[in-house]
């Protein structure tokens, strides 16, 4: 009887470091090979257990990649010892080329959508899904007796910037409505809020680009779609786009070569060509959405990025979400930007700047109802996310014993008759330490042009003290003022603080006005209030 074994080495019980082993007849294939970023400043990133892969390398015959995000391809550079073919979509393929040795480029195999690769014991087909990087795919693995669907990271969008909408009905046709195993992305299993099309972000760009101010857009380097939307709007607004940061520029070059992005109107400029333009006519794209130490936005907030600085009344658009665990690093950067007098905007219901690349709770339920799998394996998420996905499966008619919430190292054996966890591998993460951690490149900059109070609030947890982050920029850092503001927020309901139904722009203005009055009354001091509400 045909037996499949599935063993995750990363990505289950955590966000990031995705790597899954698929074994059939003693032949092993790797699905994705990512890294996880650490909140520890001494650690660059974390890899799955390379020693374990070394032990079984004689069995490993190939690597299958779903898309080009670092949490799915970042570990490829450390797997050269396997010397096996790497099958991936075109954009991921080009990104991987930059990570491996030139004499291993022959191992890279371009896939074509819906065109199967046939192996001795199974065939595998890549199918398109919408995600926050172009060329994202799910996988359909078909053996003699089993149909296995691996969604990759995915979402739905009726008007995607690139490609077509995710379509599991098309997969049902390929498998004759017989899905035996569904491995499905769990990242947003706990998110109930309604999603929206990424094209709505272009409307926000349209409004902001009309302002006669320097605009800085911070996003993930892989968010090629945001660059395309900015190009569309910049052309209509008579502005130019400048990309700052080597990773952004590298991804742009690859995207142009693959004809994912086209710039027929030459809206994109390099830094040298920009010199003849005023800052108000330029929109800067930068990296640093997660507070990374050497990112462009972080260095700009410290005043150490070339000749370009953040100044009073500049607008910074955070066209990204904050990855869990990175909050404090991001908030430190935002506080510094506020201290420089600039305006910072995160996505909200009025000004949409970011949409997640992952499907929410109800959409995951729709997938289960559509495919009606016999077995469900939630993947890509921490334990709470995986359990939430299990609950979705139960609500949509799956049997409890047929849903497997796995941990990294678990071995799940599947046959046409049954599925069961057999044993557990003892695996240990590989930690990559920063080589030059002791080096301090921060340059002191004068950000005390006036007294500024910076407040960041995660609004869905407003009664939790840890959801409020406050900093003063007035040379005194008066702890009494910070405590007074903290108590004011915690001791009032949302309605008492805001007292308005006019939307987030008015809410922010009124909140800042209330704090201004409070500090003036209590301490006889005038502060410029910089407030930022983040919807979690």
Q: Do residue 234 and residue 146 come from a single domain?
A: no
Q: Where residue 436 falls among pLDDT bands split at 50, 70, 90? A: very low
Q: Has residue 42 been placed in a domain?
A: yes
* pLDDT of 212 higher than 50: yes
CATH number, position 491:
3.10.20
**pTM of the entire predicted model:** 0.83
* Structural domain harbouring 464: 452-536
Yes or no: say if 371 and 149 are a contact pair by the CB < 8 Å rule: yes
Burial label, 103 (beta-carbon count in 10 A; 0-12, 13-18, 19+): exposed
In a domain, 301, yes or no: yes
Looking at residue 447, its pLDDT comes to 52
Same domain, 427 and 378: yes
In a domain, 209, yes or no: yes
- Is 344 found in the same domain as 364? no
Residues 342-371, mean pLDDT to the nearest whole number: 92
Least confident of 277-286, 392-401, 430-439: 430-439
- Domain assignment present for residue 447? The answer is no
Give the pLDDT confidence score for residue 412 in this predicted structure.
Answer: 97
Q: How confident is the model at residue 457 (pLDDT cuts 50, 70, 90)?
A: confident
CATH number of the domain at 384, please: 3.60.15.10
Residue 253: C-alpha distances to residues 224, 260, 261, 269, 344 (Å): 11, 10, 9, 13, 29
Q: What are phi and psi of 256, to 5 degrees?
A: -70, -45
Let me know the angle formed at the C-alpha of 321 by 315 and 327, rounded to the nearest 5 degrees.
95
Render 410-444 in DSSP notation, one character per residue.
EEEEE-SS-EEEEEE-----EEEE-TTTT------
Same domain, 29 and 168: yes
Q: Is residue 424 part of a domain?
A: yes
- Give yes or no: residues 151 and 204 share one domain: no
Q: What is the pLDDT of residues 130-163, one digit of tens each?
A: 999 999 999 999 999 999 999 999 999 999 999 8
Residue 442 lies in a domain: no
pLDDT category at 292 given cuts 50, 70, 90 is: confident
Q: Are residues 35 and 182 in the same domain?
A: yes
Identify the domain boundary among 400, 433, 466: 433
What phi-psi label fits residue 154: left (phi over 0), alpha (psi between -120 and 50 degrees) or beta? beta
Q: Are 85 and 179 found together in one domain?
A: yes
| Same structural domain, 158 and 111 | yes
Length of the chain measured in residues:
536
Residues 180 and 255 in one domain: no
Nearest to 182 by CA among 160, 150, 156: 150
Domain count, the chain: 3
- Give the pLDDT confidence score for residue 197 in this predicted structure: 92
Regarding whether 178 and 254 lie in a shared domain, the answer is no
The answer on 151 and 128 residing in a single domain is yes
Which residue, among 120, 138, 141, 121, has the nearest Cα to 129 in the 3D structure?
138
**pLDDT on residue 399:** 96
Q: What is the pLDDT of the chain when averaged over all its residues? A: 87
In a domain, 371, yes or no: yes
In a domain, 445, yes or no: no
């Amino acid at each position: 009887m045909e037996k499949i074994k599935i063993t995750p080495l990363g990505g289950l019980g955590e966000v990031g470091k995705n790597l899954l082993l698929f074994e059939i007849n003693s032949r092993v294939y790797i699905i994705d090979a990512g890294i996880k970023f650490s909140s520890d400043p001494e650690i660059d990133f974390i890899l799955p257990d390379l020693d374990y892969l070394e032990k079984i390398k004689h069995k490993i015959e190939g690597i299958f990649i779903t898309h080009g995000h670092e949490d799915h391809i970042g570990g490829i550079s450390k797997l050269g010892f396997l010397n096996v073919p790497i099958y991936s979509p075109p954009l991921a393929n080009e990104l991987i080329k930059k990570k491996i040795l030139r004499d291993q480029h022959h191992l890279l195999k371009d896939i074509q959508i819906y065109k199967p690769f046939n192996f001795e014991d199974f065939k595998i087909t890549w199918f398109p899904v919408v995600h926050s990087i172009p060329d994202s795919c799910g996988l359909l693995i078909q053996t003699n007796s089993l149909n296995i669907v691996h969604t990759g990271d995915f979402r739905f969008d009726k008007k995607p910037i690139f490609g077509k909408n995710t379509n599991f009905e098309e997969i049902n046709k390929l498998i004759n409505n017989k899905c035996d195993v569904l491995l499905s992305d769990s990242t947003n299993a706990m998110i109930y809020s309604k999603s929206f099309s990424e094209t709505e972000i272009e409307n926000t760009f349209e409004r902001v680009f009309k302002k006669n101010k320097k605009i800085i857009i911070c996003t993930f380097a892989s968010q090629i779609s945001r660059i395309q939307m900015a190009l569309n709007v910049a052309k209509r607004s008579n502005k130019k786009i400048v990309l700052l940061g080597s990773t952004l520029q590298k991804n742009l070059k690859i995207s142009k070569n693959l004809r994912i992005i086209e710039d027929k109107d030459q809206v994109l400029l390099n830094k040298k060509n920009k010199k003849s333009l005023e800052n108000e006519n330029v929109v800067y794209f930068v990296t640093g959405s997660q507070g990374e130490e050497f990112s462009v936005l972080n260095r700009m907030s410290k005043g150490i990025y070339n000749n370009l600085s953040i100044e009073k009344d500049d607008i910074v658009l955070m066209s990204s979400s904050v990855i869990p665990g990175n909050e404090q690093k991001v908030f430190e950067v935002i506080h510094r930007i506020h201290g420089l007098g600039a305006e910072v905007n995160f996505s909200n219901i009025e000004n949409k700047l970011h949409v997640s690349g992952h499907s929410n709770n109800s959409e995951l339920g729709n997938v289960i109802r559509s495919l009606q799998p016999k077995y469900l394996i939630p993947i890509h998420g921490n334990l709470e996310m995986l359990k939430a996905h299990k609950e979705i499966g139960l609500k949509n008619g799956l049997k409890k014993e047929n849903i497997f919430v796995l941990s990294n190292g678990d071995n799940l054996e599947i046959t046409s008759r049954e599925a069961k966890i057999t044993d557990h591998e003892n695996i240990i993460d590989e930690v990559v330490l920063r080589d030059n951690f002791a080096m301090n490149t921060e340059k002191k900059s004068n950000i005390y042009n006036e007294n500024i109070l910076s407040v960041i609030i995660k609004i869905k947890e407003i009664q939790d003290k840890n959801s409020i982050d406050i900093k003063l920029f007035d040379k005194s850092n008066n702890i009494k003022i910070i405590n007074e503001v903290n108590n004011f927020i915690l001791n009032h309901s949302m309605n008492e603080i805001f007292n308005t139904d006019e939307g987030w722009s008015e809410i922010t203005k009124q909140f800042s006005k209330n704090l201004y009055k409070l500090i003036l009354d209590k301490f006889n001091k005038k502060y410029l209030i910089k407030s930022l509400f983040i919807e979690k």
